[in-house]
Structure 1
Amino acid sequence: MRKILILAIPFALSACTWGIKLDDAARNVRTAWNGDVGSCHEQGKVTVSVMNRVGPVDRNDLKVRDELEVLARNEAAKMGADTIKPLGEPNEGSQDWGAYSCGSRSVAPARNADTPPPPAATTPQGGFETVPLKN
Structure 2
Amino acid sequence: MTWARLSTLVFGVAVMFIVSGCTWVELTPGGEKVRELTPPEVGRCKHLGRVTSNTAATVGIFARSKETVQKEVNRLARNNAADMGGDTIVPAGPLIDGEQTFNVYRCINP
Question: What band does the TM-score fall into relative to the shorter chain?
Answer: 0.7 to 0.9
Structure 1 residues 28, 18: closer, same or farther in 2, change over 3 A?
closer
Paired residue secondary structure (1:63): helix
Alignment of 1:108-119 (within 5 A): none
Could you tell me the TM-score, scaled by structure 1's length?
Answer: 0.62
State the Cα distance separating 1:25 from its structure 2 match. Answer: 1.1
User: Of the candidates 42, 45, 48, which is equivalent to residue 37 of structure 1?
Assistant: 42
Separation in 1 of the partners of 2:24 and 2:58? Answer: 15
- 2:93 corresponds to: 88
Greater relative CO, 1 or 2 (CA 8 Å, sep 6+): 2
Separation in 2 of the partners of 1:18 and 1:98? Answer: 23
| Correspondence 1:54 to 2:85 | no
Separation in 1 of the partners of 2:100 and 2:90? Answer: 11
Aligned residue identity for 1:27: E
Which runs of no fewer than 5 residues in structure 2 stay unpaired?
A: 1-7
Which runs of no fewer than 5 residues in structure 1 stay unpaired?
A: 1-5, 105-135
Could you tell me the TM-score, scaled by structure 2's length?
Answer: 0.75
Quick check: which has more Rg, 1 or 2?
Answer: 1
Count how many residue pairs are aligned between Structure 1 and Structure 2.
91
State the Cα distance separating 1:18 from its structure 2 match. Answer: 4.2
| Correspondence 1:76 to 2:81 | yes
Q: Which has the higher helix share?
A: 2
Segments of 4+ in structure 1 off by > 6 A? none
Q: Which has the higher strand share?
A: 2
Separation in 1 of the partners of 2:32 and 2:26? Answer: 11
